[in-house]
Amino acid sequence: MRRKFGALPVGVLAVALVASGCSETTNETPGTGNTQNVVQTGTIATDPAESQGPAKAVEGATKGGVVKLLHAAEFEHLDPQKIYVSDALSMATQFARTLTGYKEDGKGNLKLVGDLATNAGEDVNGDCKVWKYTLKDGLKFEDGTPITGADVVYGISRSFDPDWGVGPTYIQQWLTGAVEYNTTYKGPFLSAGAEVPGLKAEGNVITFTFPTAQCETPFAVAMPTSAPVPKAKDTKGDYDRKPVSSGPYMIKEHAYDQFIDFVRNPNWDPATDPIRNAYPDGIRVEFGIDAETGANRIVADAAEDQAAFIWANVPAAVLSKTTSDPKVKERVKAGASQYVEYTWINTARVTDVKVRQALNYAVDRDAIIKIRGGVDQFGSTIISPTIAGYQNFNAYDGGQTGNPEKAKELLGGKTIKLTYAFPNVPVRQQMAAKAKEVYAKAGIELVLTPLDPATYYDSVGTKGNQYDLIRGGWGADWPSASTVIPALLDGRTIRDKGNQNLAYFNEDEVNKEIDRIKGLKVSEAAPAWAALDKLIMEKYAPLIPQYYIGNYEITGSKIGGTYLSDSYGHMTLNSMFVKQ
């Protein structure tokens, strides 16, 4: 799973926006700035021409200037094989190119193309087991040395190191065919000289050989796991501070917790890059500026902040300023994200499906969305609208505010008492209090159990815990439900600690269907996942989808060309420019 930068302390926002989560719907609700369309067209490019550079010019864009990211905290990681949080993923697009990448137009159209590779991937035998990638000509690291297949393989090999393991684990698990992927091969440091299982480089050609079909390989290699690392320049632990760039920008200076200055990488050739325009001369990231200060500064639009932007939602205290003044409002980028908020129902404890269904009928999503201020969207599905194949449905349609009567009917006059676990932070406390009030109407008593936010996931992720309802959320790693449903609801992944399946849900029917869909081609899999979403909700109801989490970011008046990326959620740097 990908965590969202700053997801926990999301502030309460003051504007109400209620929109249906329909696909291909324009949500032009007043007061939300430039709300983007949600169109789930996460498709893989088939025409190699789409993978060729340079990137299509942005109308009116000019080169030069320095854009400035005002950021609350230092990136958790910059080492491409360790990156997994949305802010660093968005940043990495500028210094760590990957085999494939997302080409977007800002209108909701997202296409996966070859980035370092000449195309999005060749399924050699048509069975999704062998994938071939050929590197483009003219690719170079920041020091001018050419990027070869060996550098990509070396990069991937680093992700096997048992001491790391903080980045995505898809490729490693697929190559070894095992959840615990580093029992034999342990990366280039501990298993020096050994070959990465299933991975080969010959010149500029890289071949992945998986024991089972992995039809979503083109998506998986878009994550920074596949970023090339020059072995001669690998500083191991220190690489996290100053990785060698393969993208349009490289790190000139990095003062941890203070700032990073990115400057142009003279060895990046735009002719090889179909995705990035690289208009600014530099990117400066300043740390320690929380979302409220950042938003205030950007709203104020002083000369030094006119080319600044934030990768966090505008918090409550500043929100009214972004809606009242049209000049500020036009600088807001708002839209749906890949993240969905859930209330998990612990099926090991709440075994009666009727109770679970009643909980789904009675939920008042409208009230909960209002508590968060209204940038989120009504949602009753497990997968988000940004995911390919998404189908909007509400298996327990109680209208916008829920139907407690219907819930009572299902409970057949019984009164039920359930514990509800949530991180003990102000906004979650308010939401829990509202849930308690709402469920009381249906004869369900919630016992609120606030938990220490720092250890929250340890507590609720422990099998056999004493919580009936559990707050949770999830974001897809790429626009496919394969990074949502199997991660969350495959019962065979349940372990003693560190669970992500917080419903502790384990049904043979669902597990088998997961296996079947995983073997399908991407285009066939998309509708199948959506159908499985519906089946799980209708038949088992192991969770209560609450809402689709919205993004609401802002830029200074001199920034142009950017939009909320459908790949990583934040405003993209690919086409951003400074207005001259």
Partner 1 sequence: MLRFLIKRLLLASTTLVAISIVTFLLFFAVPSSPAWVMCGRNCSPERIEQVEHSLGLDQPITKQYTDFIKGVFVGRTIDDAGTIRECDAPCLGYSFRSKEPVTDTIERSLPITISIVVGAMAVFLTVGIGLGMLAALKKGTVFDRVAIGASVGFASTQTYTLGGVLLLLLVYSTGILPNPHYTPFTENPVDWAGGMLLPWITLGLINSALYARLSRAQMIETLQEDFVRTARAKGLSPRVVNRRHALRAAITPIITIAGVDLGAYLGGVVITESVFSLNGIGREAAQAVSDLNLPVVMATVLLAAFFIVAMNIIVDMLYAVIDPRVRLG
Q: Least CB distance from residue 190 to partner 1, whole Å? A: 7
How far is residue 524's CA from residue 517's CA, in Å, rounded to a whole number?
8
Binding mask 126-155 for partner 1 (x = CB under 8 A): ------------------------------
The C-alpha angle with vertex 197 and arms to 195 and 200, in degrees rounded to 5, equals 65
**Residue 186 vs 521, nearer CB to partner 1:** 186
How many other CB atoms are there within 10 angstroms of residue 88's CB atom? 22
Q: Least CB distance from residue 290 to partner 1, whole Å? A: 7
One of 140, 241, 436, 521 touching partner 1 (CB under 8 A): 241
One of 454, 509, 524, 580 touching partner 1 (CB under 8 A): 454
Bridge partners of residue 70, in order along the sequence? 286
Q: Which stretch binds partner 1 (CB under 8 A): 158-166, 197-205, 343-351, 353-361?
A: 158-166
**Residue 282 vs 527, nearer CB to partner 1:** 282
Give the distance between the most distant pair of CA atoms in the chain.
74
Asked if 579 interacts with partner 1 (CB under 8 A), we say no
Residue 104 DSSP class: E
One of 26, 401, 455, 580 touching partner 1 (CB under 8 A): 455
Tokens representing 221 are 């290699």
**Residue 107 vs 495, nearer CB to partner 1:** 495
Tokens representing 35 are 């709300």
**Residue 41 vs 457, nearer CB to partner 1:** 457
The C-alpha angle with vertex 365 and arms to 347 and 569, in degrees rounded to 5, equals 90
Residues 84-103 that bind partner 1 (CB under 8 A): 84
Tokens representing 360 are 């789904």
Q: Least CB distance from residue 497 to partner 1, whole Å? A: 5
In this structure, the dihedral spanned by the alpha carbons of residues 118, 120, 122 and 128, taken in order and rounded to 10 degrees, is 160
Type and span of the H or E element at 366: helix 365-371
Asked if 457 interacts with partner 1 (CB under 8 A), we say yes
**Residue 144 vs 237, nearer CB to partner 1:** 237
Asked if 180 interacts with partner 1 (CB under 8 A), we say yes
Q: Least CB distance from residue 68 to partner 1, whole Å? A: 11
**Residue 266 vs 498, nearer CB to partner 1:** 498
Residues 6+ apart with CB under 8 A from 313: 6, 10, 11, 13, 291, 375, 550, 551, 552, 553
Residue 571 DSSP class: B
Binding mask 493-522 for partner 1 (x = CB under 8 A): --xxxx-x----------------------
Residue found under tokens 């830029």: 555
**Residue 71 vs 129, nearer CB to partner 1:** 71
Asked if 232 interacts with partner 1 (CB under 8 A), we say no
**Cβ atoms 206, 133 nearer than 8 A:** yes
**Cβ atoms 117, 132 nearer than 8 A:** no
One of 20, 26, 258, 523 touching partner 1 (CB under 8 A): 258
Asked if 302 interacts with partner 1 (CB under 8 A), we say yes
Residues 6+ apart with CB under 8 A from 315: 11, 13, 291, 292, 295
Q: What single string gives the DSSP state of each residue in 41-58?
A: --EE---GGGG-SSPPPP
Asked if 123 interacts with partner 1 (CB under 8 A), we say no
Task: Note the residues at the interface with partner 1 (CB under 8 A).
Answer: 1, 3, 73-74, 84, 161-166, 180, 189-190, 236-238, 240-241, 255-258, 287-290, 293, 296-297, 299-300, 302, 304-305, 454-455, 457-458, 461, 495-498, 500
